[in-house]
Structure formats: structure tokens, C-alpha cells
Structure 1
Amino acid sequence: MRRILRSPAGLAGLLLVTAFVVLAVVGPPLWADDAARIDAANILQGSSSGHPLGTDNLGRDILARVLVAGRLSLLLALAATLIGAAVGIPLGALPTVLPRWAARFVVGLIDSLVAFPGMLLAMFTTIVLGLGARGAVFGIGLAAAPALARLTHTLTASVAGSDYVAAARMLRVPRRRVLTRHILPNVAEPLILNVAMILGSSLLGLAGLSFLGLGVQAPDYDWGRMLSEGLPRVYVNPEVALAPAIAITAAGIGFHLLGESLARVAAKDAGRQRPVRPATPAATTPATAPAASPEETPAALDLRGLTITFPGGVRPVHDVSLTVRPGEIVGVVGESGSGKSLTALAISGLVPYPGVVTTAHRAVAGHDLDRLSRGARRKLLGTSLAMVFQDPMSSLNPALTVGSQLAEVPIVHEGLPRRSALARAVDRLRRVRIPDPERRSRQRPHQFSGGMRQRAIIAMGIMGTPRLLIADEPTTALDVTVQRQILELLAEVTAETDAGALFISHDMAVISQICDRVVVMYAGRVVEELPVERLSDPAHPYTRALVACLPDMRTDRDRPLATIPGRPPSAADSTDMAGCAFASRCGFATPECTARRPPLEEHGPGLRLACWHPQAAAPAGRASK
């Protein structure tokens, strides 16, 4: 409120709206008798001491009638706005919950209605429903609905692509609840602000219909009808027409100024901290059960023959096989477009439509995902698989508190009571070293720093019993100090829970610090797998080139940084490529490399390689020629 009062436009809008609201409340009780009193001796009089704005054709005081008409004018505008919101907002939100074909139909309908002139639609509706206040209110309300529907559709579509909405859908949350719980709360603010401005437009529209004789009918009157009655006398007694015109204009401007000021304040407040109530300390819950012996524990991830296909036969991921053992951190590296993130999404069942995932075998914690029912797969992935994305803000719902989002995991998958789930959420926030977890659990994601949001996502991952943790470039958007803390935390969580981890990154330095094994991908295929100890002297020319591009303390600063010539092939180009996809960029390529694709074969304990000319004994710098 203080920021609105400091803004000239906001202060003016607030004063105008307040004045007209007060007038609507006190006007009829104070001046209704004067407005209805007929004075045959003073018919059609101009301004005088007894009648400052003159009289109408029955001798009634125009000033009193303008003051009394404020209530009906504002009430009709409010009713029209509510009708527009009641029709427009659900119509704009429908495409989010409807099947694809029905959503396209609704979007086309909205576009058609928006293209139709609003005032003509209002006049047509008024004539169909009958002249009078009721027809005018429905006409203006329906005329405002298409624009509000378009705005709602635009806002909901932007939110519907967020990771937290995708997670809710993966959990098979009903579409109606996804809309009311995850989408509409995040677009409510701009919708409310626009409704405030639509109120001013509705006031002007209703006045226009009454002026044309389509709105309020005698003996009732609003500002538009009074303007119509005073127009014939505007050249003789202009005050009789100017008074209602000024009232209409001032009220419309007031609502628009207030709505715009609220929008500006809301935009500035988007990142400000809100006051929260301290939470009551609760008992904690153990994170995981004791780990079984290595002989009894299946692999955290056993993936064989993963292929992802998109329309047109494009395969950005070809025949990828990975194994992650409990307590082991496996790094996946490669340039952008190599298929790292798509592989992670395929493991968790999040490959976007219309991608098709095929595997020879895909098991998490010993459970074959392709043989499980939909409900069993959902429960397994919800409790045994944790994902940490690059941008934690897109993974957290900004409209919900962090604690309530963490609590959804045990509530949905374990049937835990809400109080116990919130207590576990506080405990997990404490385990990832978030200070004052009771208070922080009641805050929203925008009140967390980037590093704290990433910690919250890790805490969400250990709300269940994680057997596999997938981290997709979780430190890319963080500074180096916070990056180190997150890496240490991931290593600690993996060790404490005995979960396997798949760490995806393009940073070879980070991979060498945290991982036990490294899987190198290029053009959608695994080209080398090796222990992290051998990363300083890999066998595949592509891996050697990646390592050579990483400067260290011994790098000659007088020479240009090492680079890999050329660029990776696109998914479409690599799909039907006969030979090695790296051949055009490799300094060791021969005609055999372009003629035949090298198979991925075992080359010793923990080492797999797809190359016709491995360079285990060659200097690392040669690969970047």
C-alpha cells in the first residue's frame, strides 16, 4: 500500500476508486429523495443556486441523480466483470485439461471470438436477450470474456510446461487438480490485476449501451442513460451532459490506474520475502532402511539397448547401455546434443511427446520397469528414483511452500499423514544443511537462493528411499563456491543412502572430482566407458579431445586454448550414418572409420570402447589437432 501511495498514478487511481465506492454506498440514502422529486415549475432549467447542474424534463435535480446513479453504474459494471471472468477464465484454462484435439478446438474458438469486435458482440447479445440492464450486463460480460480467455490460455500454457506440472502429471494427479492446484494459483495474480482493469472497461461499455438506448431503461437510470438524456441540451446547458460524462470518465480512469499500479507493485514484489510463521518442531523420521549386503543388493540401474525415436525416424539416442551399482557415482559426459539429458529422461519415463522409448531391459533397484503396471511403476519411481535438474526453480511450484512440496512424496506414495510428512520434510531440509529448516519449510521457492533451491530438490529426492539419483547438470547455474557445496552434498547423500547416482555434466573437471566411473557419449551413442582414474589417459580420441580442452595449472597461457574442430552431427544426420560419427573431427580417422561404425566392446576391466584406432599410448594433445 505504501508503494501505491508513493506512485502518483497509483495514488490517483486509489483516491478515485475509493471516492466512487463511497459514493455508491452513501449516495442513494442521502440524495434519493431529491433525485426522485418532480418539480413541474423548474423543468429543463439550467444551472441555478437550487440546482447546480440544472434539472431534467420532469424538473428532477441532475446533480442528485448523478450521485445516486453511481451505485447502479458500479454494480452493473461489477456484475458484467464477474460474468466475463466466470466465462473467460474457465474457457482459457480448458485447453490445459482437455485432450489434444479438444484443446485445439477451444483455442480456435477463443481466437475467433477475439477477432470479433467486442462492442458489436455486446450489442448483439443485448438485442438477443432483450433491452435493459440484464441484457446489457450479459452483453458486456460476454464481450469481455474472449480477451480474458486468451490471457488465461497464454498464462496457463506457460506454466503447464514447468517441471513441477510434468511431475504432477507423471504422478497421475487428476487433470482438474493439476489445474486448480498447480496452474491457476500461479497465474491468479495477473488475472486478478487484469480483472480490475476490465472493471473500468465494463463501466464504459455499459454506459455506451445505455447511451444508445440498449442498456438501462426508465424508470431506472445510470450515468450512460443520463448522458443520453442530456445530450440534446449540450449546446444550451452543457453542464447537464458533462456531469455524467465526467463521472463515467473519472471512474473508468480510476480503475485502470489502480489496476496498472497493482500490476507494477506485484512485479516488483515477485522476489521479495514474505513474513512467515515459525513452525512447531516435530519429530524426525529415519531416511532409509539399513543397506543390504552387496551380494543381495541389485544394481541401482541396469539399462540395456535404450533407443529414443522421434517422428521421421530421427533417433537422438542409439542403443545406450548403462549400469550403476549401489553407492557408485557414474558420470555421463559429452557435448551439447550428445543425448545425455534424453537418456536421463528415458530412465525416469519423462521423454516428451512424441518421443518413443524402446529398451531391451530397463531396471531400477532390480525392478524391470517395462514389466510393471502403471501404478507399480509410478510408486517405484516416486520413492526409489530422485532427479535433480539444472534449474531448480522450474522444478518447484512457486505458488506452494517448499515443505508442502517435499511432503507430497510420502503423502502420495506412502500414504503418510500430512503432519508426519511435513515433519519428515523439515528433517530432510535439515539433512541437506538448510539453516532454520522449520521456518524455511514454510517459505516459497522464490525466497530461497539458487543453492538453497538445489539443496531443497536434493532433500525432495531423499524424502523416500532413493536407490537411484539422477543429477542433470545440477551445478551449471551456480557459482563455484556453491557448486563445491552441492557436489559435496551429493557425494554425502549417495554414501549415506547407498544409492547409485548418475551425474550428467559437460564439465570434465567436475566429473573427475565426484565420479567413480565415466561414460562418454557422442551423437547419441556411448563411445567410451572407463574408471575415473584413467580419465587422464583415455583411449577414445573424442574423450582425449575433451580432456585436452580442459586447462590446468600447467597449460601454456601464451598458446590458444585447445578446441575440437568442427561440430557434432545433428540427430537427423547421425541416425543413418554408416561409419563413426566422430570421424570428420578426429585426427586419427582412416577410410575404415567412415565406412563402418565401430562396435562398443570390452577392452579390459571396467573399460568399454567404440573405436577402430584407440590411442591409449598416444599423447593426449594429439586428439585436438
Structure 2
Amino acid sequence: MAWVTAAMLTSLVVLALVGPLVWGASADRPDPSAVLQGPSAAHPFGTDNLGRDLLARVLTATRSSLFLALAAVLLGATGGVLLGASTAVVGLRARRLLSGLINLLLAFPALLVAMFLAVVFGAGAGGAVLALAVAGVPGFARLAQTLAAGVAGTDHLAAGRVLGLRRHRLLWRHVLPNIAEPLLLSTTTAAGTALVALSGLSFLGLGVQPPGYDWGQLLNQGLTRIYAAPLPALAPGLAIVYAALTFQLLGEVLAGSVARRGPATRTPAPTLAPSGPAEDGLVLQVEDLHVELPTPDGTIRPVRGVSLALRPGEIVGLVGESGSGKSLTAFAIADLLPPGARVSRRTLRLLGVDLAALTPKERDHHLATGLAVIFQNPASALNPSLRVATQLTETARAHRGASRAQAASEASDALRRVALPPALLRSRPHQLSGGQRQRVMIASGLMVRPGLIIADEPTTALDVTVQRQIIRLMSDIRRDTSAAILFISHDVALVGEFCERVLVMYAGTIVEALPADRLTAGTRHPYTRALVESVPDLTADRDRPLPTVPGTPPDLLSPAPGCPFAPRCPRRQDRCAEEAPPLEDLDAVHRVACWNPVPVAAEVVAL
């Protein structure tokens, strides 16, 4: 099929290029002595009412027919794709308006819209092309909207927002490249449909006007003689079918080649280099942070009254079960919450700057240059359609005005800092291993020289050996750059080994804050103690089941009064069901929210 399609497409291209040059003169030369003749040796398709050779006119009309059809489909595809893909980067209200507009436009049949607009724009080639382009916009817009919806929730688009990229740059760099293939295939097949529709408008007298001509007009002229001489009517009709079939087959062949495309190879790596000075004061200060999310069943409050602070070079762990609000806390700090989420806080300062006092543009720039986020899944956090070099240099070029060469040099240094060779800049994410992708994510964050790195479970998808490498790498980066690290994880053992301080979250609140070296024997909250005891130990009895935290997390839609952990707590008292305990100081470095803390002397299982 590929070879047949290539031959058919080549024949159309050749006819479009050379047809007017070779047959143009005979196609336009009238011959009064040969008016309305049937097929003959001199005129294989016969002649028209002015004696012009119909074969020459059909061949010459290839250029105008194809050019007008392609112009209509390209204009319609451009408008529709931009309209539909924009829904992935605009705000919630604008997205609803665009979706409603697309739904409204799809309610009208495209061909009827094209006929109506052709009358409005005026009969002629230009009016017909514009009419078909406008009529084709809704179909392309719906396709682009559907495809873009799959990109809208990806981590690499969120990473682009963290970098403070403008919406047009998000659209051009992060949305369109990831939906380009199906859109190109759809455009190819739509070209055949546009050719048929354009010929139909010309057949009805709404398209190309004399003295110009295309296949549709030639079909109209030959129809009056179809019973006496059918070939003058059939010839332009066959040309339309041939060209439309070519475009349809081309779409099928391209789709098949995309489906058969195989994976690429992988590359290895090692060595590490230092950078940047420390900063004075608090890197991050958050007080009384609340997050509300609307759901079909009501509003939930997954983060309630969270307060935390990080100093330069400090590593703070944020632990808790899934759904405890760890990632939402980080996303609220980075301004990455989904549309519709409501955030309130008493204080939110990053690098000494109050984010509430900044304009949206200033806040985006400050977050993009002062903060880096390492997402849980590097495979989705990196844009699969862009090379590593493009994704690393984007920030430096967008926010510091660096030249292409300067940004490329900084990207090479960033890769060396995370023990990857600069040769990987030419690779795409799918060519890298999981550990290499995570290192690229860290290198991308280092390009902005951040004061704060938020690592959202960066080792979850990696094997144990690579986990250790990533942890060691982040420790080295913290030492070399003095960046503070907020390390989010549900692995208590890993947090105890890697972090200096630990914040334990449960049901959207921090229930205990303590130094990491007290995790083994100094935890005071029953929930933290249960998390520590659930960590497997090499000396544990293998015949007994592993300890777990009994019960289930509370329902966020209808939270009960009192301590949220009370239904699962072995130390609960009557007061626990009535009044939520505040986070109070036990000493200068240890705080706990519990009415009946676990005694320090209680026996615990060592990590």
C-alpha cells in the first residue's frame, strides 16, 4: 500500500507542477470548429462548448483543485488546533467557554455551514476556501481538545508551569508537540474530504468562477451532456475520486508507520561537580496553610492548618500515608493545584519574599527561579516529544535571557553535576533508564539555581540501588548548593536516614515534628509510632505478619470532631473524640499534637 500510495501521490504532485506548463495553452485555446465533440484521437475526452480540449483542462485543473483544497484544510486545521489545544493551558473559566463554543459549533453540519458561508463570503475561489476552512474548525478543535486533555494533567506540563512559562510557550512547546502526530494524520485524511467538498461547491456554482476552473466546475459543465457523451462528465469525477483516495491512503500509511515505530536504544553514565553559595534566613516559611477541593459530592479539605519552615541547606522529610495531604501541601506552595482548588494561608514566604504581595506575573517568575520540583514519575514529568537539551535549556532562556550556546553550556554542567554525560542532551526521555530520567529531572531543577527543592517521592518508581544513588546525589547537591530540600515520602526508614527533621502528616494536619534521629525511639504520637513499628526489620519473626496501622483514614467529606486519628488510636480518651489537639512543644526541637502522647520509655521496634 505504501508503494502504491507513493506512486499516486507522486503523480498528483507532478501533474500539479507541470500540468499548466505542458497543457495550459491547449486547455485555454478555443476551437470553433471542434465545439462539443465526443472523444476522439485528437481529443480523448472530447471538447467543451468553446472547442477546448477536456483532457488538457482536467490535467491543468489539478494544480488549482489541490492547492485550494490544501489551503482550506490547512487554514481550518490551524484555527481548530489552536482553539482546541488552548483548553489545556487556559484557566478554568476560559476552558469552559472554549468547550462550550466548540460544542456549539459542532451542532451544525460542516457541509451546510460551508455552503452558507460560501454565499456570505461571495461566490469564488477565495470565498469557498474560507467557507471550508471555517466549517472545518470545529472538527479539528474537538480532536485537539480531546488529545490536549491527555497532556493537561501530565507532570511535564506542571513542570512548565513551575518554570513560569507563558501560556503560548506551554502551548507551543509542551502541548502541540505531544499531539502533533494524530493531528497530522487527521489533516492528511481531511485533505481528501476538503477536495470533495470544494469540488461540490464549484459544482453548485459557489466555488471557482469562470474563466478559472477546477474539477468541480468541469464536472458541472460535462453533466449536461452525460447521456450523449458520458466521458466529459466522468473524467473530472474520476480525477476527484483519485485524488481523494490518494489522501485517504496516505493517512492510512502514515498511521501504520507510526504504529509500527519501534523503541530506541539506551545510553549509560558517571562524576559530579559543585556550585552556588548558601542563603541567609528562612528559605521557606508557611503558616496556617489550608486547601479546599470541590468534588461532585461536596468540598473536601485535604490540607488543614499546616505550618512549616526550612533553612538553607536543611533537609526536611514530610511523611504520612497516601492521602494524608503531603503532595497537596507541596503543590500549594508551588502554585500547582488543579483548577477550582482554593488556598488560604496566613504566611507564605519563599526566599524572604511574601508571595501574596506579588502580582501574578511576579509570583510566577519568583516561583520559577527560586523553586524546583522533582516529581514522582520522571517518565511523565519529562516531555516525551522534546530532547533533553531543549527541556534543560528552556528555563535559562525563558527567565535569564541566556543565549542558546550559553544555555547549552549550563545544561552540560548540570548533567555533569548529576553524574550524567553531556552526550545525553541529544537523547529523548524514552531513550533513558528510570534512574537517568530522575537525574535529568534534578538537573532541570538545578538550571534555575533554586533555593528550595521539593522532591515529591522521587525514588518511589526506582529500584533500591538507584534509590540510594538518587538520595546520595541529592545530599551532595544540598551540600554543594546550600539549597533546602522538602523530601516527601511514605518510606519512614528512608526519611529517617536521609533527613534532618521529620514532619508527620495525618488527615491534612501535621501531628508531630521531630528530629530524624528520634524516629527510632523518641516518637510520641501514636500514629508516628505505628508508622515506625510497621517498618520491616531483619530480626523480625518471619512467621508473624508485618505490623500495620489498624483502621482506615478518615472520610474527608464528613470529618468527625476531635482528633482525626482517634478511631484508630490505641491510646484514645474521651477528650480525643471531642476536641482536636493542637501542635504543642515538648521541647525546643520536638512538637506533637496529642492529648495522650506515647511515653518515651515505651518499647519500640528499631529501624
Q: TM range, normalised to the smaller chain?
A: 0.7 to 0.9
Aligned-residue offset at 1:470? 1.4
Secondary structure at 2:552 match in 1: coil
User: 1:466 and 1:144, CA in 2 relative to 1: closer, same or farther beyond 3 A?
Assistant: closer
- Structure 2 counterpart of 1:510: 494
1:322 and 2:308 correspond: yes
- In structure 1, what residue type is equivalent to 2:275? A
Question: Does the aligned pair in 1 maintain the 2:276–2:481 contact within 8 Å?
Answer: yes
- In structure 2, what residue type is equivalent to 1:493? I
User: Which of 237, 250, 267 matches 2:242?
Assistant: 250
User: 1:433 and 1:54, CA in 2 relative to 1: closer, same or farther beyond 3 A?
Assistant: same
Question: Does the aligned pair in 1 maintain the 2:5–2:249 contact within 8 Å?
Answer: yes
User: Which of 502, 505, 514 matches 1:530?
Assistant: 514
1:469 and 2:453 correspond: yes
User: Which of 545, 552, 569 matches 1:586?
Assistant: 569
Between the aligned partners of 1:154 and 1:430, the Cα distance in structure 2 is: 39
Secondary structure at 1:441 match in 2: helix
Secondary structure at 2:557 match in 1: helix
Question: Does the aligned pair in 1 maintain the 2:274–2:417 contact within 8 Å?
Answer: no
Per-residue deviation, residues 254-289 of structure 1 (Å, max 9, x unmatched) = 1122133324434555964799xxxxxxxx996202
Secondary structure at 1:570 match in 2: coil
Correspondence list, 1:34-73, <5 A: 34-36=26-28, 46-57=38-49, 60-73=52-65
- Structure 2 counterpart of 1:546: 531
Aligned-residue offset at 1:144? 1.5
1:434 and 2:420 correspond: yes
TM-score (norm 2): 0.86
Secondary structure at 1:599 match in 2: coil
Aligned-residue offset at 1:165? 4.3
Question: Does the aligned pair in 2 maintain the 1:316–1:572 contact within 8 Å?
Answer: no
Secondary structure at 2:496 match in 1: helix
Structure 2 segments unaligned to the other structure (5+ residues): none
Aligned-residue offset at 1:300? 3.7
1:563 and 2:548 correspond: yes
Aligned-residue offset at 1:454? 1.4
User: Which of 373, 381, 387 matches 1:387?
Assistant: 373
Question: Does the aligned pair in 2 maintain the 1:12–1:254 contact within 8 Å?
Answer: no
TM-score (norm 1): 0.84
User: 1:319 and 1:36, CA in 2 relative to 1: closer, same or farther beyond 3 A?
Assistant: closer
Per-residue deviation, residues 72-122 of structure 1 (Å, max 9, x unmatched) = 211221232233235434443555676655554343222222221111111
> Percent identity, aligned pairs only?
51
- Structure 1 counterpart of 2:218: 226
Q: Which segment is superposed worse, 338-347 or 146-155? A: 146-155
Between the aligned partners of 1:227 and 1:389, the Cα distance in structure 2 is: 60
User: 1:131 and 1:258, CA in 2 relative to 1: closer, same or farther beyond 3 A?
Assistant: same
User: Which of 277, 288, 304 matches 2:276?
Assistant: 288
Secondary structure at 1:572 match in 2: coil
User: 1:481 and 1:310, CA in 2 relative to 1: closer, same or farther beyond 3 A?
Assistant: same
- Structure 2 counterpart of 1:614: 597
- Structure 2 counterpart of 1:456: 440
- Structure 1 counterpart of 2:118: 126
- In structure 2, what residue type is equivalent to 1:578? P
Per-residue deviation, residues 146-200 of structure 1 (Å, max 9, x unmatched) = 2123233334454444445445555654444444454444444443333222221
- In structure 2, what residue type is equivalent to 1:357? V
- Structure 2 counterpart of 1:350: 336
Per-residue deviation, residues 489-522 of structure 1 (Å, max 9, x unmatched) = 1122122223332111112232233223322111
Between the aligned partners of 1:150 and 1:70, the Cα distance in structure 2 is: 31
Between the aligned partners of 2:286 and 2:293, the Cα distance in structure 1 is: 20
1:490 and 2:474 correspond: yes
Between the aligned partners of 2:576 and 2:61, the Cα distance in structure 1 is: 87
Secondary structure at 1:120 match in 2: helix
Between the aligned partners of 1:360 and 1:103, the Cα distance in structure 2 is: 30
Between the aligned partners of 2:30 and 2:362, the Cα distance in structure 1 is: 79
Aligned-residue offset at 1:41? 6.5
1:207 and 2:199 correspond: yes
Between the aligned partners of 1:50 and 1:376, the Cα distance in structure 2 is: 76
Aligned-residue offset at 1:523? 0.3
User: 1:395 and 1:247, CA in 2 relative to 1: closer, same or farther beyond 3 A?
Assistant: same
Aligned-residue offset at 1:358? 3.2
- Structure 2 counterpart of 1:481: 465
Q: How many residues align?
A: 596
User: Which of 469, 475, 484 matches 1:500?
Assistant: 484
Per-residue deviation, residues 190-249 of structure 1 (Å, max 9, x unmatched) = 433332222211111112223334333444432223333444555565444333222211
Between the aligned partners of 1:44 and 1:556, the Cα distance in structure 2 is: 101
Question: Does the aligned pair in 1 maintain the 2:273–2:416 contact within 8 Å?
Answer: no
Question: Does the aligned pair in 2 maintain the 1:287–1:462 contact within 8 Å?
Answer: no
Secondary structure at 2:136 match in 1: helix
Aligned-residue offset at 1:322? 2.3
User: 1:175 and 1:363, CA in 2 relative to 1: closer, same or farther beyond 3 A?
Assistant: closer
Question: Does the aligned pair in 1 maintain the 2:456–2:488 contact within 8 Å?
Answer: yes
User: 1:382 and 1:36, CA in 2 relative to 1: closer, same or farther beyond 3 A?
Assistant: closer
1:573 and 2:565 correspond: no
Question: Does the aligned pair in 1 maintain the 2:156–2:383 contact within 8 Å?
Answer: yes
Question: Does the aligned pair in 2 maintain the 1:85–1:148 contact within 8 Å?
Answer: yes
Between the aligned partners of 1:599 and 1:94, the Cα distance in structure 2 is: 45
User: 1:611 and 1:98, CA in 2 relative to 1: closer, same or farther beyond 3 A?
Assistant: closer
User: 1:120 and 1:360, CA in 2 relative to 1: closer, same or farther beyond 3 A?
Assistant: closer
Question: Does the aligned pair in 1 maintain the 2:274–2:477 contact within 8 Å?
Answer: no
Between the aligned partners of 2:261 and 2:326, the Cα distance in structure 1 is: 37
Q: Which segment is superposed worse, 69-78 or 258-267? A: 258-267
Aligned-residue offset at 1:143? 1.8
Question: Does the aligned pair in 1 maintain the 2:266–2:433 contact within 8 Å?
Answer: no
Secondary structure at 1:92 match in 2: helix
User: 1:17 and 1:408, CA in 2 relative to 1: closer, same or farther beyond 3 A?
Assistant: closer
Question: Does the aligned pair in 2 maintain the 1:325–1:500 contact within 8 Å?
Answer: yes
Question: Does the aligned pair in 1 maintain the 2:273–2:417 contact within 8 Å?
Answer: no
Q: Which segment is superposed worse, 597-606 or 175-184? A: 175-184
